[in-house]
Amino acid sequence: MDIWSWISDLPNSADWPESNSQLTYQLTPSQHDEKSILLKAERTSGSNTETLVTFSILLHGFNFNSPCKTLWVSDTCPLSSTKPFLPLLMQLLQEIISRAPNTHDSICPRSQLQKLKPEPICWIVDSHSPESFSHFFNLIFLCRLFWLCVCDSHFEVGQLYFSTLLAQNFNLLSCRHVVRNFLISIGVDAELCFMRTLGYMLAKCCMLRDMGVGLQLLTPTLLSNGFSYAMESFGLWILKGYAPILSMTQTRSNALDKYRALEAKESVLRYALAHQQLETVIQLEYSVSFCESFIQVNARVDNLRVHVVKLGFNKNEDGEYVDETYFPSRIQIWIGPEVGSTYVGGLSLSRSTENPEKEVETQKIVRGSFGKLKVPLIKATAMTSAKRRSRNWKWEQDAEGNAVVFEAILHDDASGMEVATWKPMDGGNPKSGLRKRYSGGSRVFNKSGGLVLAGDEYGDWVSWRMSKEMEGSVLKWRLGGKVWLSYWPNDVKSNHFETRCVDWCDEVDLPLIPGK
């Protein structure tokens, strides 16, 4: 499918003689002529010097009491403009963002988002090759079609969309650099809306694939790891990652689940958990020092923000499972030069540290009496106290070659076991202190179930020394992250548990330029 090339090759004003002429692009493959989804371009009324075009999406052969049913109509696009189809692209993006799923407790509802500005979108069109932008436009078009075909139409239309459109054309990584630049240019609020739409689509695809009802063409490569991108900004290396839960690799689970039929309540729980998405921001602060005989690069963890958001449209749709969410149980970050680089002469690490400990005081009171009389002659009370130190998160630091590895590991407060690797021998609910984990003064996570780790909890610096000859260059360094999410029942009674993980890796700039 190459919709953008077809749109770009539409006749101009001089070659489009008839005011009512139209051109049609068949979106679904030719073997499905009896039922098909069409894109139509039609010239509308305009002046003699201006040709206006509108686009519409049609359903053909679905027996809706008419041969064709119009599903959507675009705004007019002036072909005489220098960017004739910018209004079409802006409309598609705006409608995608306005239909993004809620996160139920968002403080920035979609209605408060301002309209996208055309300048960054123009830059996206002009700064990328036609082939790269064509992949990006296909992705945008598929997202808009998702809401029209799956959410606003008969189930047969959604079935055709999944089997013949999405399965054969959905490949986010094919235009990864365009999506990265697009997300950076539109701002973080619109970025969240856009990525939650993609996450919702991907969650539905994974559900259909796991149920074995189609989408076999959506290979694990297309569905795994979600999406991530990295950038350098004002002395920070930043990695952002998004992954729907079902797209993450399963590492631990109840082995009995695959052999037994699920009860109704268990199925509802699984369905609610399937509509959740991991959203991660990894920030590392770095600095560069120019010494007489070498260059020193310092880095430390500035901020880790791990959130699991619920993708839905109704605050009450989760019912009794509203407090059932996955939670982060292990986080791994690595940063370092390119593989095979020879310009790093030394790497210095700090000690492995732990987050602040808490002390719990217990008391024992012993009462006794002496004497054989009914009224005791002597009463004694003894009191003892003990302090127990418990650690929820343990920080570790290591190196692999010239790359530094930071790691945060969650331990069960009751048993001391690592949560991400916990697996019972015979199933059953975990005997742990992580029930009711989103309430109470000593909870490990915030009320929404996320986690924020700041530099004051783990603020030790690491450093690399490299040759003075590298001064004036801009190096590419590797920045990666791996996040484990676990689910244990929180408020409900269930045997279900599992741990999933996702890993991302990208490149960031390291400018070795004095004064920068």
482 within 8 A of 515, measured Cβ to Cβ: no
User: Hey, how many other C-beta atoms are within 10 angstroms of the C-beta on 179?
Assistant: 22
Write the pLDDT tens digit of every residue in 377-410: 555 555 555 555 556 888 888 999 899 999 999 9
Compute the distance between CA of residue 464 and CA of residue 468 in angstroms, rounded to an integer.
Answer: 12
- Can you state the angle between helices 86-98 and 130-146, rounded to 10 degrees? 40
Triad 265, 266, 271: Cα angle to 5°: 100
Indicate the range of 109-118, 449-458, 475-484 predicted with least confidence.
Answer: 109-118
Q: Which of 204, 199, 197 is nearest to 155 (CA)?
A: 204
- Tell whether the model's pLDDT for residue 488 goes beyond 60: yes
Does 165 have pLDDT greater than 90?
Answer: no
Residue 365 phi/psi, 5-degree rounding, is -120, 125
CA 113 to chain centre: 20
Per-residue pLDDT averaged across 183-196, rounded? 92
Q: Quote the CA–CA distance of 384 and 412 in Å, as a whole number.
A: 27
Model confidence, pTM: 0.86
**Can you give the three-state secondary structure of 53-86, one letter per residue?**
EEEEEEEECCCCCCCEEEEEECCCEECCCCCCCH
Q: Mean pLDDT lowest for which of 66-75, 134-143, 454-463?
A: 454-463
In this structure, of 28-32, 63-67, 231-235, the range with the lowest mean pLDDT score is: 28-32
Identify the pLDDT of residue 215: 59
In this model, does residue 431 exceed pLDDT 70?
Answer: no
- Provide the pLDDT for residue 428: 47
- Report in angstroms the alpha-carbon separations of 468 from 143, 401, 462: 49, 21, 19
pLDDT, the chain, mean:
81
Provide φ and ψ at 265, rounded to 5°: -65, -35
Mean pLDDT of 44-51: 68
Tell me, what's the pLDDT at 427? 47
Residues counted in the chain = 516
pLDDT at 426 (0 to 100): 44
d(CA 422, CA 435): 15
The whole-number average pLDDT for the span 481-498 is: 88
Contact 505, 479 (CB under 8 A): yes
Q: Are 371 and 303 in contact (CB under 8 A)?
A: no
Percent of all residues in the chain with a pLDDT value above 70, rounded to a whole number: 76
More confident call, 65 vs 283: 283
pLDDT above 50 for 124: yes
In three-state form (DSSP H/G/I as H, E/B as E, the rest C), the secondary structure along 154-176 is CHHHHHHHHHHHHHHHCCHHHHH
Residues 6+ apart with CB under 8 A from 142: 165, 166, 169, 170
Q: Where are the beta strands (DSSP E) in 311-341?
A: 327-337
| Amino acid making up residue 19 | S
Which whole number is the average pLDDT over 361-378? Answer: 59
> Does the pLDDT of residue 425 top 70, yes or no?
no
DSSP one-letter string for 106-127: -SS-GGGPPPPPHHHHHHHHHT
Work out the pLDDT band at 259, boundaries 50, 70, 90: very low
Q: How far apart are CA 472 and CA 494, in angstroms?
A: 59
Q: pLDDT tens-digit profile of 297-343?
A: 999 999 999 999 998 876 656 667 888 899 999 999 999 998 888 88
The answer, yes or no, to whether residue 136 has pLDDT greater than 80, is yes
Mean pLDDT value of segment 509-515:
89
In the predicted structure, residue 14 carries a pLDDT above the cut 80 = no
Q: How many CB atoms lie within 10 A of CB 395?
A: 20
For tokens 């000690």, name the residue.
351
Judged by DSSP in three states, 392 sits in coil
| DSSP state, residue 1 | -
Per-residue b/e over 369-384, b at no fewer than 16 CB within 10 Å?
eeeeeeeeeeeeeeee
Q: Is the pLDDT of residue 262 over 70?
A: no
pLDDT tens by residue, 191-250: 999 999 999 988 888 888 777 665 555 555 556 678 999 999 889 999 999 999 999 999
pLDDT band for position 283 (cuts 50, 70, 90): very high
Task: Provide the 3-class DSSP secondary structure of residue 301.
Answer: strand
pLDDT at 367: 58
Percent of the chain with pLDDT over 90: 33
Report the distance separating Cα 228 and Cα 483, nearest Å.
13
Q: How confident is the model at residue 288 (pLDDT cuts 50, 70, 90)?
A: very high
Strand partners, 421: none
**In this model, does residue 432 exceed pLDDT 50?**
yes
Contact by Cβ (8 Å): 231, 238: yes
Q: How far is CA 191 from CA 97, 180, 250, 511, in A?
A: 9, 10, 27, 27
Highest mean pLDDT among 55-69, 346-360, 467-481: 467-481
